[in-house]
Amino acid sequence: LMTLTPLKHLAGVNGPVQRGLAAGESVFGLIDAKPERTDGVVLSERATGKLEFIDLGFTYPEQTRAALTNINLTIAPGETVALEGMSGGGKSTLVNLVPEFYPLSAGQIQLDGKPVAQIALSSLRAQMAMVSQNVVLFDDTVAANIAYGISATPDQIKQAAAMAYADEFIDLLPHGYETQIGTRGLMLSGGQRQRLA
């Protein structure tokens, strides 16, 4: 009877140990990951935004079937393009290739006539913003979420909100830009969260 309580405690240890092992595996996977390239030209000014996909092909590592093959597409500056297709058709993959989240298997992508492989990653990624379907917001103010990662003035924050058409709903919030939005933006609708992100 006296061993019953210690055995229960031992059984309770298994959960944290398994979580620790899974977390350790993630950490070691990150440590073992191949570092991103650090070469390339730093762009001195804002890109005009002409994006070209030339004979683009991509196959995920350890896969035999290509996710994308022979993609040729030109997107003009200021043009809006919607990618549609079946689930698993390569839409997200195509978008993730532009900031070089994955290395190309074939062909090339050009930004304003320059291959993105020749542009420094920090400079390339500074040229774009990307909002996925599942956005990450913090339990902080609207302004702090907009300015996350940079030091921005209140005017810059308001300008960014206006460009994303988020100022319309922000002005209606109880404390405007100083409104706390809750964990993961719980106080906002899905569309409002995406515009804020």
What is the token pair recorded at 152? Answer: 């921005």
pTM above 0.75, yes or no: no
Cβ atoms within 10 Å of 58's Cβ, excluding its own: 21
- Predicted confidence at residue 30, as pLDDT, reads 79
Structure confidence at residue 74 as a pLDDT band (50, 70, 90): very high
Cβ contacts of 112-116, under 8 Å, gap ≥ 24:
112/47, 112/48, 112/49, 112/50, 113/50, 113/52, 114/41
38-46 average pLDDT score? 87
Q: Smallest Cα–Cα separation from 145: which of 157, 154, 134, 137?
A: 137
Q: Are 161 and 169 in contact (CB under 8 A)?
A: no
- Predicted confidence at residue 39, as pLDDT, reads 87
Structure confidence at residue 157 as a pLDDT band (50, 70, 90): very high
Positive or negative, the CA dihedral 48, 160, 102, 92 is negative
39-46 average pLDDT score? 88
Does the structure show a pLDDT above 80 at 184? no
Mean per-residue pLDDT of the chain: 87
